[in-house]
């Protein structure tokens, strides 16, 4: 595992509740415009983390996986959040064909599962969040890939320390 730096930090998420709490903590530091890539295999916890983030922002309805709709929109206290799952997209040009590329210039919080499927069409992320299995739980690494993203990561580390 890479060691933590100003632009990368790893936490252990022991169970689903920890993933939800981590998403809620993310919600306290992110602000629009934010582009967050959520990386990891099927079942890694990307949708669970998104659910925690949306609930953390104050959304009290359901959060369903956008696997079939490709995008689920939310407005919470005037903050727009678009949650994407690009698993079923075969290449980035298909996003433009579907008219989805316009979302990526909106002043919103954009959460993108399977961003590699839209490569070249999404813009530069502020965070690349990678989830993977570890023991009974998950490991999450946040890589900050913009100046704003580094500031948000610093705020997240200040808030969470090394444990969650
Ligand atoms: P993805 O969107 O990456 O395909 P989901 O969030 O839909 O994954 O599903 C992840 C599965 O793993 C769910 O069954 C969830 O309960 C479980 N899960 C989420 N976080 C953890 C964790 N930290 N430890 C163990 N299980 C987890
Ligand atoms: Mg998912």
Q: For position 19, which CATH number holds?
A: 3.40.50.300
Domain containing residue 76: 8-140
- Residue 46 counted as domain residue: yes
pLDDT at 148: 97
In sequence order, what are the beta bridge partners of 43?
A: none
Pairing outcome for strands 137-144 and 8-13: antiparallel
Number of structural domains (the chain) is 1
Q: Looking at 9-13, 34-38, 97-101, which range is the least confident one?
A: 97-101
pLDDT of residue 1: 53
Q: Residue 26: count other Cβ atoms within 10 Å of its Cβ.
A: 27
164 — pLDDT class (breaks 50, 70, 90): confident
Q: Flag whether 116 is in a domain.
A: yes
Is 163 inside a domain boundary? no
Q: Which residues line ligand 1 (CB under 6 A)?
A: 13, 15-16, 18-19, 40, 42-48, 65, 113, 137-138
Whether the per-residue pLDDT at 163 is higher than 80: the answer is no
Q: What is the pLDDT of residue 6?
A: 87
- Give domain status of residue 35, yes or no: yes
**pTM greater than the 0.75 cutoff:** yes
Is 161 inside a domain boundary?
A: no
Strands 79-85 and 71-76: antiparallel
Instruction: Indicate the top mutation candidate among 16, 62, 131, 140 to test ligand 1's pocket, ranked by most ligand atoms within 8 A of CB.
Output: 16
Domain for residue 13, yes or no?
Answer: yes
């Amino acid at each position: 595992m890479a060691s933590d730096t100003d632009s990368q930090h790893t936490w252990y998420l022991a169970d689903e509740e920890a993933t939800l709490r981590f998403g809620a903590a993310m919600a306290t530091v992110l602000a629009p415009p934010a582009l967050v890539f959520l990386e990891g295999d099927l079942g890694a916890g990307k949708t669970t983390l998104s659910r925690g983030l949306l609930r953390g922002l104050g959304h009290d309805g359901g959060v369903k996986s956008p696997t079939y709709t490709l995008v689920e929109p939310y407005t919470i206290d005037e903050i727009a959040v678009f949650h994407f799952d690009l698993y079923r997209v075969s290449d980035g040009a298909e996003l433009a064909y579907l008219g989805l590329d316009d979302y990526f210039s909106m002043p919103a919080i954009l959460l993108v599962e399977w961003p590699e499927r839209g490569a070249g069409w999404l813009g530069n992320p502020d965070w690349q969040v990678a989830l993977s299995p570890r023991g009974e739980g998950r490991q999450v690494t946040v890589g900050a890939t913009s100046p704003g993203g580094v500031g948000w990561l610093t705020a997240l580390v200040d808030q969470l320390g090394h444990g969650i």
